Every structure is written in structure tokens, then in C-alpha cells.
Homo-oligomer: A and B are copies of this chain.
Amino acid sequence: SIITQLADLFSTGSLTGRTLLITAGPTREAIDPVRYLSNHSSGKMGFALAEAAVEAGARVILVSGPVNLATPAHVERLDVVSAQQMAAAVDSRIGEADIFIATAAVADYRPRQVPAEKIKKDQPQLTLELEKNPDILAGVKQQHPGVFCVGFAAETTDLERYARAKLDDKRLEMVVANLVGSATPETEGTFGSETNVLQVFWPGGETHLPLAPKGQLARQLIPVIVSRYEQRDMT
């Protein structure tokens, strides 16, 4: 539509000269050579944001877990599998970034021990001992406090409370939150779906992006990020 085209014109160039590092998709944590733990995540929101950021003039580095998505034009993509690999990839490129957007659904835990051979299924029960994965976003903010950090929060309940806690605990500039699972009919099927509803929180403010295709939400979110980024030294 003409409105969208005008919006495009206005947003074009707002990120010229800036580098964005974006993570997307799930991670997979090996249990053994054939089994793994993962999180539901299609990667669509992160890929849509990468595309929208390029449209706004940014240089974009996209670190992606295993997804079935084509790389948007002019985006540099690094593929990883596990949370530890994603942390290493981010660590290797964060020095170039002005803005870090962590959309990836990183597995919080990984199996403590990973046998070299397939676990046989002789036992009626099995106990998996898990340990924490590195918190990639918290690590970036601690070691690179100057980078403008946007976190994502997928919650099944108490969305605002958890999103605000994440914002404060990790001292982020912004948290983009959405309800997942079948918490409401509106959000049912968020994983893998083409649409989403987003609640955006920053210190002292928030905005709501109603149900829309992920590509459209990404184009709405980029100006919100740019606006907060440009005010970053004034708050």
C-alpha cells in the first residue's frame, strides 16, 4: 500500500552506518549422537528483523540456529547448532555491533554428559541431568555495556512481570515480549506461525504491536528500536 511505501521511505537510512548483530531460531543440545533437546522456534521473527534492518540501511550479521529459512538479501549469516556454538559466534562478532537483538530461543539447559554412542532403550525410565547454558544476552551486556541490547521474552504467563524482570536483571535497553503456547486464542500457534503480537518494554515506557504478519511487525519494531537507540545517551 501507499502507507507502507511511505513508511518505508521514512525509515530508509535510519540505520545507515550501524551494524546489527541478530540471533535467531532455536538451538539444539545433544543428548547423544541421535537425540537432542530443543525449543520451539521457526526463526521467522529474527529473519524478518534482519531483512527490515537491511531495508533501514544497517549492516546485519545474523547468527542462526537450525531453521528452514532463506537468508535475506545483503545479510551475513552464521549457522550454529548448540547454545555454546551460538555464544562463541556472537562473541566473535559482537565487537562490530552497535545494536544486538537476541531473538533466538536459546536452550537454557543442556545435558551434563553426552555419551559418544547412542543410549540404548533397555531401561523403562531414564534420568537426564541438565546444566545451565551460557546466558548469551547477559554476557554481551556485561562485557560490552555500550552495545544497545534488545532481548526477547516468550512466556506462557505473567508476560509483563517476566519481561520487566528480564529488562532490569540484565540491564537491557529493551525487551520484546510475546505470549506463547495456547494461553489465549490470539496467540495460539505463535510458534512457526506467520503472525504475532508483541509487547515492547524499555525503562520507563512500553508499546504494543497488535496482531500482524511477522514481516510487518519487524518493520514496525525497527523504528521503535531506532527511536530508543537515538535517545540512549539522554535517558
Which residues of A are interface residues toward B (Cβ below 8 A)? 31-40, 68, 105, 107-109, 112, 116-118, 121, 123-132, 154-157, 180-182
A123–B109 Cα distance when bound, in Å, is: 10
- Is B132 touching A33 in the complex (CB atoms < 8 A)? no
* Partner pick for A129 among B112, B125, B182, CB 8 A cutoff: B125
On whether the beta carbons of A127 and B127 are closer than 8 Å, the reply is yes
| Complex contact B132–A121 (CB within 8 A) | yes
Chain B residues near A68 (CB-CB < 8 A)? 68
CB of A188 to closest CB in B, whole Å: 11
Once the chains are docked, how many angstroms separate the CA of A161 from the CA of B169? 53
Contacts of A31 in B (CB 8 A): 37
Least CB distance, A202 to chain B, in whole angstroms? 23
Q: Does the CB pair B130–A34 fall under 8 Å?
A: no
Chain A interface main SS type: loop
Contact A109 B130 (CB under 8 A): no
Give the shortest distance, in Å, between A224 (CB) and chain B (any CB): 24
Is B33's CB under 8 angstroms from A107's CB?
A: no
Complex A-B: 14 CB contacts under 8 Å: A33-B156, A33-B182, A34-B156, A34-B180, A35-B38, A36-B39, A36-B40, A38-B38, A109-B121, A125-B131, A125-B132, A126-B131, A127-B128, A128-B130
Known: A34-B156, A34-B180, A155-B118. A109 touches B132 (CB 8 A): no
Q: Smallest Cβ distance from A70 to chain B, in angstroms? A: 12
In the complex, A129→B123 CA distance in Å? 12
A39 x B35 contact (CB < 8 A) = yes
* Residue of B35, B131, B132, B154 touching A37 (CB-CB under 8 A): B35
The chain B residue sitting closest to A126, CB to CB, is B130
**Shortest CB distance A125–B (Å):** 5
Smallest CB gap from A135: residue in B:
B121
Task: Please give, as numbers and ranges, the residues of chain B lying within 8 Å of A37 by CB-CB distance.
Answer: 31, 35-37
Chain B positions within 8 Å of A123 at CB level: 132
How long is the Cα–Cα vector from A124 to B37 in the complex, in angstroms?
A: 17
Contacts of A129 in B (CB 8 A): 125, 127
Instruction: Please report the C-alpha to C-alpha distance between residue A108 and residue B155 in the assembled complex, in whole angstroms.
Output: 28
Please tell me if the beta carbons of B130 and A180 are within 8 angstroms of each other in the complex: no
Nearest CB in chain B to that of A157: its residue: B117
Q: Which residues of chain B are within 8 angstroms of A154 by Cβ–Cβ distance?
A: 34, 118
